[in-house]
Structure 1
Amino acid sequence: MSTTWANELSGLDALRAMRSLPEPPPSIGVLLGFQIDELEFGRVVFSLSTRPDFANPLGTVHGGICATLLDSVMACAVHSTLEPGAGYGTLELKVNYIRSVSTEGRRLIGTGSTIHVGRTTATAEGRVVDDAGKLVAHGSTTCVIHRAS
């Protein structure tokens, strides 16, 4: 693929193309071990397995891991709705933490869904649950949309 492939595809098609790459390019998702579980128009599901290097000083998963998972699924839910050539950026991110998580290989599943996608802004919501289905964190985002003139 050329370096401009993302501009040539809709957001949903670009996400699907990234999922099908044999070797994904460096990204925060690769660094944290994200798996892309579901991709739909306006909704995405990513997951990861916790590990010891995710620990905070108390020995549980650092809140930034859930915040990054939420930011990623909510923003990618917005991305999945965009036409070729359109981009976005996070304007605001709100995270509510519900419970701590062990660093010992627990599966965290993040789901992001759009609420509103307008001409210049979009909003989305997200949830992170553990492998037992218990809510770990939830949040919301507002994204700015950059469309070609």
Structure 2
Amino acid sequence: MSDYNEPPSAFALHLGYDLVEWREGYARYEMPIIEAIANRQGLPHGGVHATLLDSAMGLSGCWTGDPDRRVMALTLSLNVQYIGRPAGTRLICEGRKTGGGRSTFFAEGVLTDDTGLLLAKGTGVFRYR
């Protein structure tokens, strides 16, 4: 578990996803599956999948270990592969920094539900601000 927690953005508060773990090279968000995030088929909208992957992967490269020294990043590229439909009641997204340098970093993410079912995978390139 992280020693400190990033305050949620207005967008995260609006959609209802929470940062539950954050450490060097890793971030995890969780979100309840509710009607408000459903598409016409009653499934979580693909934009929710992309949002969670983008958020977890982007934050995975911003850990400093110091709550007074915040690092920000911008998404340069986001790739999402939609794989399955949820069977559970929560979405769980884990992002991991996989490499990079001084100005950019690379990350990968996995989105599952609380039953362990794989829903989506993603990769991204991020630039430090």
| TM-score range normalised by the length of the shorter chain | 0.7 to 0.9
Counterpart of 1:112?
Answer: 95
Counterpart of 2:6?
Answer: 18
SS at match of 1:18: coil
Q: For structure 2, which runs of at least 5 residues remain unmatched after alignment?
A: none
Q: How far apart, CA to CA, are the structure 2 residues paired with 1:127 and 1:62? A: 16
Q: How far apart, CA to CA, are the structure 1 residues paired with 2:10 and 2:100? A: 25
The TM-score with structure 2 as length reference comes to 0.86
In structure 2, relative to structure 1, the CA distance for the partners of 1:85 and 1:60 (3 Å cut) is closer
Percent identity between matched residues is: 34
In structure 2, relative to structure 1, the CA distance for the partners of 1:107 and 1:40 (3 Å cut) is same
Question: Does the CA contact (< 8 Å) of 1:75 and 1:90 recur in 2?
Answer: yes
Counterpart of 1:101?
Answer: 86
Counterpart of 2:28?
Answer: 45
Q: How far apart, CA to CA, are the structure 1 residues paired with 2:53 and 2:70? A: 24
Q: For structure 1, which runs of at least 5 residues remain unmatched after alignment?
A: 1-11
SS at match of 1:113: strand
Count of paired positions? 126
Give 1:82 shift.
8.9
Counterpart of 1:64?
Answer: 47
Larger % of strand: which?
2
RMSD: 2.3
Q: How far apart, CA to CA, are the structure 1 residues paired with 2:93 and 2:37? A: 16
Give 1:35 shift.
2.0
Q: Deviations over 1:6-51 (max 9, x none)?
A: xxxxxx87xx2435xxxx5x52211121122211111011100011
Larger % of helix: which?
1
Q: How far apart, CA to CA, are the structure 1 residues paired with 2:71 and 2:119? A: 32
